[in-house]
Structure 1
Amino acid sequence: MKNTDILIQHWQQVLANINDVCRQTAAPQPVQLIAVSKTFPINDIVTLYEAGQRDFGENYIQEFSEKTGQLAELDIVWHMIGHIQSNKSRIVAERAHWVHTIDREKIARRLHEQRPECLPPLNVCIEVNISAESNKHGISPDKSELLALANIISALPRLKLRGLMCVAKAGSTDSELQQQFHQMQNLLQYLHQAGFAVDVLSMGMSADLSIAIACGATHVRVGSAIFGQRNYTQTENNSEK
């Protein structure tokens, strides 16, 4: 079997798994698959694009820049899911459709200022450090901190606050995952009650997407289950999600 056939087979299996969980849990909305293509070649993205995948996620801004430049003619929906340094924000503001990792006012304002007026508002999610790990980015799950950042983003017309994003603690048990994901669901509901029109919970990856969907995920970010294990010889001064 060719490598391209294996790649498509893995992608189709992930889609089938998502659909199965949605049926079993009676998920109220479709769940969007973001294929996380970081460290994988452009040919793999093209293979999945031709098979029907449209949403792709990248972590590293240099890699994001190269791929979005070379694939500019394709109607790919690009999701930045890695930490953004303020001195590298312009390329994201100009080319991304989504940013899942807003965790401070400075980066929100820079993305707003650098977003071209000819483009629609940039869809953004606030990243929550739901596991309270010091090596992860994101705001704390404190509601006052969340509300403050949500208010700042909502006042920036070239950004559109869509919801929340998290990365669960590695090695969590199923019960611990459920606790973290349910807390995210509660935080999204809190924003609803505060008057924000948010509808996105970006949570769940290859190892925990079933539990995330059962807990209300609307977007899952899947890499290794589709593309295989990564080779991290190419690195950038960005933290991995």
Structure 2
Amino acid sequence: MIKDNLHNIKKTIPEQVTLVAVSKTKPVSDIQEAYNAGQRVFGENKIQEMVGKYEELPKDIEWHMIGHLQRNKVKYMAHFVNLIHGVDSLKTLIEIDKQAKKHSRVINCLLQAKIAKEESKFGLSFNEIEAILNSEEIKTLKNIKVVGLMGMSTFTDNVKQITDEFESLHEFHNKIKNAHTNLNILSMGMSGDYELAIAKGSNMVRIGSSIFGVRNYNA
């Protein structure tokens, strides 16, 4: 089933778009099945869970941390995480840099923009993102690299609202790419809206339930 789901989704995704298979709450056996079907990029939202899976699974997997990040837990994944999606403060970047330095690594990060109308969503305003990217302090961080932006749309059936939110982030991303040439990634879109996100400029999508089935929230 997972193999077929992956195959069907990949048919709908352009070659230049990276598929992050969101494997949170799913067992190692499911991830291995997706791996055997050719998938190499997986996203988790809990560091302890990701660490356990990293230790059990093949080492050529590219692990992405996609959940809200607690600074005091960065140390547990600093030796292997490939990309951290949800960075929403300069303090968090400083902590990631500190932990990456201990392992002589450079960790790639995305700044999370708040584009949704929901209060529950984390993220930075566009002005706050520009302030971080233009700060003197970020220039001193040699063990992190901000490689793009991430955004989550409002959980709604209102397609126009979702479209407007994705469009606003895409336009902002295009605007700041001129001054910050490393910002190549725009991570927008999940199982319910990834095709719309791709149409609005996303080149990285985070898909879970459409690959692995409905999530087990009691896990």
Q: Which TM bucket (shorter chain)?
A: over 0.9
- The answer to whether residue 181 in structure 2 is matched with residue 186 in structure 1 is no
Deviations 1:185-223 (A, max 9, x none): 111122213334211100100000110000111100000
| Mapped partners of 1:89, 1:132: distance in 2 | 28
Out of 8, 12, 15, the position equivalent to 2:7 is 12
| Mapped partners of 2:30, 2:83: distance in 1 | 21
Deviations 1:8-51 (A, max 9, x none): 11111111121xxx4xxxxxx71010000000000111111111
Is contact 2:79-2:105 (8 Å) kept?
no
Partner of 1:106: 91
Q: CA RMSD of the aligned region, Å?
A: 1.6
Gaps of 5+ in 2: none
Change (3 A) 1:133 1:154: farther
| Mapped partners of 2:105, 2:75: distance in 1 | 16
Q: How does 1:25-40 map to 2 (within 5 A)?
A: 30-40=16-26
Q: CA deviation at 1:80?
A: 0.3
Deviations 1:152-186 (A, max 9, x none): 54541111111100111001422212111111111
| Mapped partners of 1:118, 1:85: distance in 2 | 19
Q: CA deviation at 1:70?
A: 1.6
2:129 aligned partner, one-letter code: L
Give the alignment's TM-score, normalised by structure 1: 0.85
| Mapped partners of 2:142, 2:92: distance in 1 | 15
2:131 aligned partner, one-letter code: A
Change (3 A) 1:154 1:209: farther
Change (3 A) 1:137 1:13: same
Aligned residue for 1:146, secondary structure, equals helix
Change (3 A) 1:209 1:154: farther
Partner of 1:87: 72
2:217 aligned partner, one-letter code: Y
- The answer to whether residue 72 in structure 2 is matched with residue 62 in structure 1 is no
| Mapped partners of 1:183, 1:7: distance in 2 | 33
| Mapped partners of 1:43, 1:231: distance in 2 | 15
Percent same amino acid among aligned pairs?
36
- The answer to whether residue 204 in structure 2 is matched with residue 219 in structure 1 is yes
Is contact 1:154-1:160 (8 Å) kept?
no
Give the alignment's TM-score, normalised by structure 2: 0.93
Out of 118, 129, 142, the position equivalent to 1:146 is 129
Q: CA deviation at 1:105?
A: 1.3
| Mapped partners of 2:171, 2:67: distance in 1 | 24
Out of 26, 29, 33, the position equivalent to 1:47 is 33
Deviations 1:119-148 (A, max 9, x none): 5411110001101422111112x33x1111
Of 74-83 and 91-100, deviating more is: 91-100
Deviant stretches of 4+, over 3 Å = 116-120, 151-155
Q: CA deviation at 1:74?
A: 2.5
Aligned residue for 1:229, secondary structure, equals coil
| Mapped partners of 1:75, 1:146: distance in 2 | 32
